Amino acid sequence: MSYEIAEIVAGLNQPQKMISPKYFYDKRGSKLFEQICELPEYYLTRTEIGIMEASMNDIARAIGRHVSVIEYGIGSGLKTRILLENLDDPVAFIPIDISPEHLAESCQNLAKRFPQIEVLPVAADFTRPVPIPVPGRTAARKLVYFPGSTIGNFETEAAIELLRVMYQEAGPGGALLIGADLKKDRQIIENAYNDSEGITAEFNLNVLRRLNREFGSDFDLNAFSHSATYNESSGRIEMYLISQCAQEVTLGEHRFSFIEGEKIITEYCHKFSLEGFRELASVAGFQHVNTWLDANRWFSIQLYER
Ligand code: AVI
């Protein structure tokens, strides 16, 4: 059994059934996520880009020259482009992404736009140890870049674990530039995950389509519905697929029974306080350097050093 099948089966055998959010990002899922980023309700991307546009000179100065940038996950490429355009002579760009097609497409565009920067893509699941290629030119320091508040998709222990991996990867003198979404009015947050066009619902259900296609399960997509609610006490969106009826689903020789209304948790999206996030990063060893915010204080871009 592949580790992916073992992981999916173990998740669906839990008393609270779960599917890891990393399975969202097949080709269609990555495209749907790009569409989410442009939705009027999904303030995260627009706000983070706004902060970058307003504060990029300051951010680039704080990072310094001749860095090699290691990006964990790659989105539409716009944030990466803004960062690389403004850094002082970066030596290399090393993106790590689980979707090889998406990675290849983004890297082709970036290599065309930045012929002077060595682009070294790594197609891998960054939640597992990954060997990182060494650029031809020696960098002054490594910069780990993790935008989009993807850190919020990890539970606290896993987030600390991932930050520790980034701390190791940054190496002596290295830095971390990270986007973290902040706590705010619950309606604003819930609207971002329940858009009026139903794109987030499509994105959520697409994980079942992917499991059916790649791992041989027989989920009936019409028998599950999308739900995303903000749990104020844990400070996170909890995204579920809810079984619309009593049903059985099979994956190979494995059978999973659902009662009507039973939920599969597919994603947590944590929202942070500034102090809470600094605490998380400091547990992993990072020292806070600076934080940049938008005027509403909805989103933060934070710089840390080892
Ligand atoms: C990738 N990640 C930061 C998104 C988020 O907001 O947590 C994933 C997402 N899920 C539904 N909408 C967007």
pLDDT beneath 70, residues of the chain: none
Burial code of 37-63, b = ≥16 C-beta within 10 A, e = fewer? bebebbbbbebbbbbbeebbeebbeeb
Report the alpha-carbon distance of residue 274 to residue 180 in Å, rounded: 9
Report CA(177)–ligand 1 centroid distance (Å). Answer: 18
Q: What is the pLDDT of residue 75?
A: 74
What is the tens place of the pLDDT at every residue in 249-279?
999 999 999 999 999 999 999 999 999 999 9
CA distance 261 to 15: 14
Q: Is 205 in the pocket of ligand 1 (CB under 6 A)?
A: no
- Distant-in-sequence, close-in-space partners of 142: CB < 8 Å, separation ≥ 6: 67, 68, 70, 169, 170, 171, 174, 175
Pocket test residue of 267, 268, 271, 272 for ligand 1, highest count of atoms within 8 A of CB:
267
Closest atom of ligand 1 relative to the 228 alpha carbon: 11
pLDDT number for residue 127: 82
Given this model, what pLDDT does residue 76 score? 73
The answer to whether the predicted template modeling score (pTM) of the entire model surpasses 0.85 is: yes
Q: Single out the residue of 61, 16, 256 nearest to residue 177, CA to CA.
A: 61
Instruction: Indicate which atom in ligand 1 lies nearest the CA of residue 269.
Output: 7
- State the pLDDT at residue 99: 82
Residue owning the nearest CA to atom 3 of ligand 1: 150
pLDDT at 237: 98
Please give the pLDDT value at position 27.
86
- Ligand 1: does its nearest atom lie under 6 Å from the Cβ of 152? yes
Ligand 1 and 269: CB distance under 6 A: yes
Query: Tell me: the pLDDT tens digits for 158-169?
Result: 999 999 999 999
pLDDT, position 100? 86
Cα 65 to averaged position of ligand 1 atoms, centre (Å):
31
pLDDT of residue 102: 82
pLDDT of residue 77: 86
